[in-house]
Chains A and B, each alone.
Chain A
Amino acid sequence: MSGLGIRNQKDFYSGLLFILFGVAFMWIARDYNFGTARRMGPAFFPVILSGILIAIGIAIAVRGVTVAEEPMRGFTLKGLVLVIIGTLLFGFLVRSAGVPIATAALVAVSAYASQRFNWKPTLVLAIGMAVFCTVVFIYALGLPMPVRGPWLGG
């Protein structure tokens, strides 16, 4: 990356990210009514904010090419992917299959992200959490969540 003259990756990329967000918000807000200072439309505040965000993003990115600092450490792709997939799976299963299944699935998938993954304790944890959450949240606290979803004939 140093070939591009980026001396501080963290600053450069965060600046870029902020610019991206600023542009996106401004782009979407272009369809809304801007209004006047007296009667501000729905676009007024967001457009001003994104304008400032873009300006600051540029400043941070510029600092990233001028001020050197330690390079960024690698991303943990495995952790990121498994935690996110586990969470999405939980969301997908919680209504269709019910809380116990969704809970066990989230535990099983996310636990695999650890270097110390071992299927035996994970299995115990998955079953334990499924029972615990069902008992505490559904039976004790009465939260309206399905124990058995339609998939299981609930």
Chain B
Amino acid sequence: MELFANLYTGFEVALTPLNLLYCLGGVFVGTLIGVLPGLGPTATIAMLLPVTFGLPPVSALIMLAGIYYGAQYGGSTTAILINLPGESSSVVTALDGYQMARQGRAGLALSTAALGSFFAGTVATFLLALFAPPLAEIALKFGPAEYFSLMVMGLVASVVLAHGSLIKAIAMILLGLLLGLVGTDVTSGTPRFTFDVPELADGINFVIVAMGMFGLGEIIRNLENEETRDVFSRKITGLLPTWQDIKSITAPVLRGTALGSALGILPGGGAMLSSFAAYSLEKKISKNSKNFGKGAIEGVAAPESANNAGAQTSFIPMLTLGIPSNPVMALMIGAMIIQGIQPGPQVMTEQPALFWGIIVSMWVGNFFLVVLNLPMIGLWVRMLTVPYHLLYPAILVFCGIGVFSLNNSTFDVYLMALFGILGYVLSKLDCEPAPLLLGFILGPMMEEYLRRAMVLSRGDPMVFVERPISATMLALAVIGLIVVLLPSIRKKREEAFTEEG
């Protein structure tokens, strides 16, 4: 079986002592920072990116993937213990998880989240290993028209599935696309939107935008209403689920895993959508649906499995096509480029050790999360007691050092400050930063594929609808847009997202 040969290659890479150490380190640091309220996976990865600069490519990516899971796991812990979801995908976990904690079942909620996540992670890793090669093969046949249409579909999907105002999300994507074009035009060599600033000739680094908007912008926003947090000080006991608990979470975990794996592959999907969809599904089919929101264990098991599965399978478009489906994947792509790897379908064939090493290390990372983090829950709870007014200056320092060390450039630090202002103002205006970031990373790619497709078709835009794969993707994008614009569905979508928030 080729699958097992591939996995074997992966295990060989992932299980070297050094890579195990980086995986462990990533998971640990990721959890540590993820537990700190107000810091989700995107900000955590952006902040810690410089730490990986000096590592070999495989180790760097393994560590970053570990940070990603760790941060996500940390987000669930805060959601359960202090009703403060560290990131959007654990919003629904807070609904029932926090209630369980208040009823003295915090330990059970935490272990349910951990075990559900681990199971989902295991399944999703297998799916990834199974589906990545055929997808990469198809991707190799993609021409510029297919790539362009795929990105259009991805961007449309990201607004359709995201929460908040649809039209504002589209505007944010466009703004992101435009900002992504800053720099030297590859085809003509013309410097665009650079204001004759030499530092802008290569374009704006993605990390600067991410840290400015997710780091600085978020901190300023938090300073608006500093509240005292209700710190969970009780000792956490009862971590081990009983046989009865395991029986009651089995089905929700299975359903969550399936749903999450499917939704994670969708561009713009990933962890957030998965957890939300799994929660509403569970609530609909559960016999004791009136318990939801009051500490139902299914309400923790399903979304936690789903978001972990989704997080995992969202690597599929990134690894096989080189296209990010969410800001975290965009950061991973940024990290690959810094390491000198051009993401895309050729990575799998040209660097099998790297490709399979990353995939297997995801599973290893998930394993570490369970065996390390449940016993160390006391430490994470202590982290929660760090007051925010001492926390945010430290975060700012990490952002500053991280951005400065990208190019040893002070200009980048000033630029980050500028994006901090922009991020704060936009978030005050209820404009989500995630679509902007997605547009930002896709902008240059989209333009290049558009240009190439048009050169090949001699200027005939029909090329996008004449080629079947491209046409299908564009059709899906159009259908997606029409569907959310239909009044009845629009109302449902709004209801759904209000319920979530």
Contact = CB atoms under 8 A, between A and B. Distances in A.
Partners in one complex: yes
A17 B404 contact: no
B220 A129 contact: no
A68 interface: no
Interface in B220-256: 220, 223-224, 226
B397 interface: yes
A42 B190 contact: yes
A131 to B, nearest CB: 12
Interface string A115-134: 11100011001100100010
A110 B401 CA distance: 15
Nearest to A56: B171
Contacts of B178: 21, 25, 46, 49-50, 53
Given A10-B430, A91-B410, 16 more contacts: A25-B178, A32-B185, A56-B174, A57-B171, A76-B220, A79-B219, A80-B421, A80-B424, A103-B401, A106-B393, A106-B400, A111-B389, A114-B389, A122-B393, A129-B393, A137-B401
B397 A116 contact: no
Given A49-B177, A106-B397, A117-B389, A91 B220 contact: no
B171 A42 contact: no
Contacts of B426: 14, 17
Contacts of B428: 10, 72-73, 75
A28 to B, nearest CB: 6
Contact of B171 (A18, A83, A125, A145): A18
A83 B458 CA distance: 51
Given A13-B429, A111-B393, A88 B414 contact: yes
B171 A53 contact: yes
A107 B394 contact: yes
Contacts of B111: none
A14 B216 contact: no
B405 interface: yes
Contacts of B404: 90-91, 94, 145
B451 interface: yes
Contact of A28 (B193, B220, B387, B431): B193
A141 interface: yes
B51 interface: yes
Contacts of A32: 185, 190, 192
Contacts of B220: 76, 79-80, 83
A76 B447 CA distance: 38
Given A17-B429, A87-B396, A107-B394, A94 B216 contact: no
A137 to B, nearest CB: 6
Give chain B's interface secondary structure class. Answer: helix
Nearest to B403: A91
A5 interface: no
Contacts, number: 203
Contacts of A59: 167
6 closest cross-chain pairs (CB), A and B: A38-B459, A91-B413, A79-B223, A114-B389, A14-B429, A42-B185
A87 B420 contact: yes
A125 to B, nearest CB: 6
A53 B431 CA distance: 14
Interface string B12-49: 00000000000000000000000000000000000000
27 contacts: A18-B175, A37-B460, A41-B188, A44-B451, A49-B177, A52-B174, A53-B175, A56-B171, A72-B428, A73-B428, A79-B224, A83-B223, A87-B400, A88-B417, A90-B413, A91-B410, A91-B414, A94-B400, A94-B404, A117-B389, A125-B390, A129-B393, A137-B405, A141-B50, A141-B51, A141-B54, A145-B408
Most-contacted residue by chain A among B188, B219, B220, B458 (CB, 10 A) = B220
Given A46-B178, A91-B413, A137-B401, A110 B190 contact: no
Interface in B157-180: 167-168, 170-171, 174-175, 177-178
